[in-house]
Amino acid sequence: MGGPAAAGLDVVVLAGGRSSEHDVSLSSGGAVRDGLLAAGHRARIVEIGRDGVWRADGAPLSLSPGEGLLGADVVFPALHGPFGEDGVVQGVLEALDVAYVGSGVAASAVCIDKVLFKRLISTAGIPQVDYRGVSADSFARDPDAVLADAAALGLPVFVKPAHLGSSVGIAKVASADELAGALHAAFAHDELVIVEAMAGGREVECAVMGPATVSEPGEIVFESEFYDYEAKYTPGGMELKIPARISASARERVIALARDAFRFAGCEGLARADFFVDGELVLLNELNTMPGFTPTSVYAKLMQASGTPYPQVVDTLCRLARERHERRSLLRH
């Protein structure tokens, strides 16, 4: 492929979606479109409504397998959470036979499932926070056993829906008598819930642009009790310090584990890796395969601080997507 100025691409940006992160996705999508335009591409947004309908310029779209999407050279699915970041839309794009940015069906599905991801990562020997996965069925069958098992993690613990992002539905539980209520609240969002032990130290994140580029780690600093939705999306709710205030050896460990986890989970294109760092102890928390994507989002800030400005990030991701699609088109099935 030539440079973007010489041969700009036609890019469809998918934004919105059915999840609780609909509005966050619209912000990400608008920023991606603007970044693509700045990089010399042509870009338009297809909005996925809360009703699940795909619309271009307000008109519903009909999708035909094998026929691409509005003639796009590549699709940038700036979608967060269920029905967008979990392999569902990636499967649609595979059926349409169009190049798209980011991880494929399997890696997207694995990484959005906090329980499944932790089980997978444990087989690689990557250190992580202790946890329990709790299904709504298991809790209904034997709540006392579930509560006893979760309490074995110690207190406080964090109770989270397994498939949601942006800290939606999370509760910090400081006493055993609060645990059942937190689980019931989380089950309103998801049939699978994760209970995580409290991790000390600093919250550190780094951006991966695959498969080899890992940003300088940054540290999330916030005044709230934990890094909740308000801290993430309220102006001034958090501060990103780059570089993170960790030792040189911990920094190298973060970068190495981010790269290893990205590859081990089968991610492609991009991800944000989140860690807890306490002295020399580095624990992986999760991989986010489509993090918030405005120029002021953590991923973009980390890449900017590491020498890659926003337009170059979105341009590179589109190039990687095209290369993957062209490479796989040569395979025989």
Domain regions of the chain by residue span: 10-101+311-317, 110-127+199-289, 131-197
Residue 34 has pLDDT above 80, yes or no: yes
| Range 74-79 average pLDDT | 98
Is 253 part of the annotated catalytic residue set?
no
Q: Compute the average pLDDT of residues 156-171.
A: 85
What would the pLDDT profile of 37-56 be if each residue is shown by its tens digit?
Answer: 999 999 999 999 999 999 99
Q: What is the pLDDT of residue 236?
A: 62
Average pLDDT over residues 295-316: 97
Give the residue from 324, 322, 304 showing the smallest Cα distance to 313. 304
Q: Which of 166, 215, 285, 306 is catalytic?
A: 166
Domain 110-127+199-289 adopts which CATH fold? D-amino Acid Aminotransferase; Chain A, domain 1 (3.30.470)
Residue 163's CB is within 10 A of a number of other CB atoms, namely: 23
Q: Is residue 166 pLDDT above 90, yes or no?
A: no
pLDDT, mean of residues 117-142: 96
Task: Give the span between the Cα atoms of 258 and 218, in whole angstroms.
Answer: 13
The active-site residue out of 233, 237, 266, 324 is: 233
Which one from 18, 33, 259, 272 is the annotated catalytic residue?
272
**Options 286, 306, 310, 315, the catalytic residue:** 286
Neighbour count for residue 330 (Cβ, 10 Å): 6
286 assigned to active site: yes
Counting beta carbons within 10 angstroms of the beta carbon of residue 201, is it exposed (0 to 12), middle (13 to 18) or buried (19 or more)?
A: middle
Model pLDDT, residue 5: 43
**Chain centre to alpha carbon of residue 324:** 20
Buried-exposed string 220-243: b where 16+ CB fall within 10 A, e elsewhere: bebeeeebbbebbeeeeebebebe
Percent of the chain with pLDDT over 90: 89
pLDDT for 211 equals 81
Q: Which fold has domain 10-101+311-317?
A: Rossmann fold (3.40.50)
Is the N-terminal amide bond of 156 cis, ω within 30° of 0?
yes
pLDDT surpasses 80 at 225: no
pLDDT (average), residues 242-264: 97
Among this protein's residues, is 315 annotated catalytic? no
> Is 166 labeled as catalytic in the residue annotation?
yes
**274 a catalytic residue:** yes
Say whether 110-127+199-289 and 10-101+311-317 share the same fold: no
Full-model pTM: 0.92
* Mean confidence (pLDDT) of the chain: 93
Looking at domain 131-197, its CATH superfamily turns out to be: ATP-grasp fold, A domain (3.30.1490.20)
Catalytic residue among 285, 288, 297, 306: 288
Q: Which of 35, 81, 84, 292 is catalytic?
A: 292
What is the per-residue pLDDT across 130-150, written as a single tens digit (0 to 9) for each? 999 999 999 999 999 999 999
pLDDT at position 164 is: 85
Predicted local confidence at residue 154, as pLDDT: 95
